[in-house]
């Protein structure tokens, strides 16, 4: 993380323009006098606890009115399992993208997809891509694999002790399974992977989690396994941690392409050249030219995967539908591929190996998010696999739209019209989206 010498020099000059070096050093020292009061109340959502938190914030009447409106106050009890130090809610605009026709193993039909965002042109872009796919007969989407992992790490004194431990642990898988599944009705231990690095051992436990995204579920299940290991292992580790950063939790990693975290899904479509020209104002050949150059750009910049902007659609979808938005960091790892078919049509596909979505648990039961899932018809038990296939179709639509916009020269125009407030109503309907 180096900084160019000229940039560093110019930055230091700006810092020292209004203060001496001694004053700057003093400003950066720890100051322990008169600490501010702690935020009171923890997870309590009583009126009294909420009032006490707002009392910490002087001159905050306007903020309180915006964040703690009457509807939020009426629904406050619904938030008790999802928030601490509660003071209100943030309202994010939500729009509909679609219709998206999905011909999947679990998702079948036409979907209007709620997307919550503050970024103008995003919903328009994804909506255009979804409509294009629907006009071509829909996208094929398949859930390929699923599993959520948690990877505790153990430190021993020597490699020999690691070997003893691994020899014992490999014979304990059935007992590990019993311990894990005693904590949950829905989680099942499906696999264990072992990694040795020096005198460290990582046990990567992979679970299926039913219709929940399942991150808390697998943490509690792994904790139970760790407790069993602590009581019964013939060689005791010096120390251990329930998660040693090998699972890939909430970060992009190459491991995503080798294993699965969440749900691995792929979606594809074949778009006739005439439809590409009519709706995207470009050609399949030119879109493949862009995809090829962009793929090389991704390689040169060291990105994980090769895709245009999965994170845009995923973040908006996760926020609207009660998913863990931080999981976009790993869910947005994937590959987009475009080809020209022998008949001159455009073949387009996306593969996302780490889509972490659930139709139950987490934020899916909150009032707004539950309503958004109801729009999709994908809330509640038995819907998580379909939800993942719809997400794949959404990402495919987004890739088609943004790449079409870049190829046709409409990319900047859409932002100029929609993001700067200069569009007439008809322009908003017809604009070429987004990135």
From residue 234, alpha-carbon distances to 154, 158, 167, 201, 389 in Å are: 14, 15, 10, 15, 45
Q: From the centroid of its chain, how far is CA 55?
A: 34
pLDDT higher than 70, residue 424: no
In whole angstroms, give the CA distance from residue 183 to residue 219: 10
Contact 322, 365 (CB under 8 A): yes
pLDDT at 405 over 90: yes
End-to-end CA distance of the chain, in Å?
27
- Reported as a single tens digit per residue, the pLDDT across 159-189 is 999 999 999 999 999 999 999 999 999 999 9
CA distances from 131 to 241, 307, 348 (A): 48, 20, 15
Distance, CA of 223 to CA of 242 (rounded, Å): 6
Do residues 46 and 86 make contact, with C-beta atoms less than 8 angstroms apart?
A: no
Q: Is the peptide bond before 319 cis (omega within 30 degrees of 0)?
A: no
**Per-residue confidence at 371, pLDDT binned at 50, 70, 90?**
very high
Q: Where in the chain is the domain with CATH 3.90.770.10?
A: 94-141+263-430
User: Domain 94-141+263-430: which topology?
Assistant: 3.90.770
Q: What pTM value is reported for the model? A: 0.91
Which tokens sit at 90? 């943030």
Query: For the chain, what's the residue count?
Result: 435
> Cis peptide leading into 99, omega within 30 of 0?
yes
Q: Are 114 and 77 in contact (CB under 8 A)?
A: no
**Annotated active-site positions, please?**
119, 324, 415
Summarised one tens digit per residue, pLDDT across range 223-272 is 999 999 999 999 999 999 999 999 999 999 988 888 899 999 999 999 99
Structure tokens at 403: 């790449």
**Where in the chain do CATH 3.30.70.420 domains reside?**
152-241
Report the SS3 class of residue 280.
Answer: helix
Q: Which CATH class is domain 152-241?
A: alpha beta
Nearest to 363 by CA among 80, 96, 118: 80
- Do residues 364 and 85 make contact, with C-beta atoms less than 8 angstroms apart? no
pLDDT band with cut points at 50, 70 and 90 for residue 427: very low
C-alpha–C-alpha distance, residues 114 and 369, integer Å: 10
Which pLDDT value is given to residue 39? Answer: 94
């Amino acid at each position: 993380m180096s900084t160019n010498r000229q940039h560093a020099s110019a930055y230091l000059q700006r810092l020292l323009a209004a203060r001496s070096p001694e004053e700057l050093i003093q400003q950066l020292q720890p100051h322990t006098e008169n600490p501010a009061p702690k935020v009171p109340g923890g997870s309590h959502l009583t009126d009294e606890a909420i009032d006490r938190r707002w009392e910490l914030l002087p001159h905050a009447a306007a903020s309180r009115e915006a964040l703690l409106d009457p509807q939020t106050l009426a629904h406050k009890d619904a938030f008790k399992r999802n928030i601490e130090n509660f003071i209100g809610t943030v309202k994010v605009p939500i729009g509909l993208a679609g219709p998206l026709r999905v011909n999947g193993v679990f998702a079948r039909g036409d979907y209007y997809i709620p997307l919550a965002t503050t970024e103008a042109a995003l919903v328009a872009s994804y909506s255009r891509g979804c409509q294009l796919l629907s006009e071509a007969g829909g996208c094929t989407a398949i859930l390929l694999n699923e599993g959520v992992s948690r990877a505790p790490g153990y430190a021993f004194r020597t490699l020999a002790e690691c070997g003893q431990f691994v020899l014992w642990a490999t014979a304990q898988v059935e007992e590990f399974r019993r311990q894990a599944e005693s904590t949950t009705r829905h989680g099942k231990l499906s696999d264990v992977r072992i990694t040795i690095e020096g005198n460290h051992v990582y046990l990567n436990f992979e679970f299926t989690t039913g219709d929940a995204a399942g991150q808390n579920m697998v943490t509690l299940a792994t904790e139970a396994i760790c407790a069993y290991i602590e009581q019964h292992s013939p060689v005791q580790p010096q120390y251990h941690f329930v998660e040693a950063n090998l699972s890939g939790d909430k970060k992009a990693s190459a491991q995503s392409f080798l294993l699965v975290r969440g749900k691995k899904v792929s979606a594809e479509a074949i778009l006739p050249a005439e439809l590409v020209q009519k709706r995207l104002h470009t050609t399949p050949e030119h879109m493949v030219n862009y995809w090829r150059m962009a793929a090389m750009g991704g390689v040169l910049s060291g990105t994980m995967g090769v895709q245009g902007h999965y994170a845009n659609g995923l973040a908006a979808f996760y926020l609207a539908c009660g998913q863990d938005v931080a999981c976009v960091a790993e869910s947005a790892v994937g590959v987009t591929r475009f080809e020209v078919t022998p008949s001159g049509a455009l073949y387009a596909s996306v593969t996302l190996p780490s889509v972490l979505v659930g139709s139950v648990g987490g934020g899916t039961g909150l009032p707004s998010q539950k309503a958004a899932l109801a729009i999709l018809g994908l809330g509640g038990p038995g819907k998580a696999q379909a939800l993942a296939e719809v997400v794949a179709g959404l990402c495919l639509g987004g890739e088609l739209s943004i790449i079409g916009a870049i190829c046709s020269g409409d990319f900047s125009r859409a932002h100029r019209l929609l993001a700067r407030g200069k569009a007439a109503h008809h322009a908003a309907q017809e604009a070429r989206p987004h990135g």
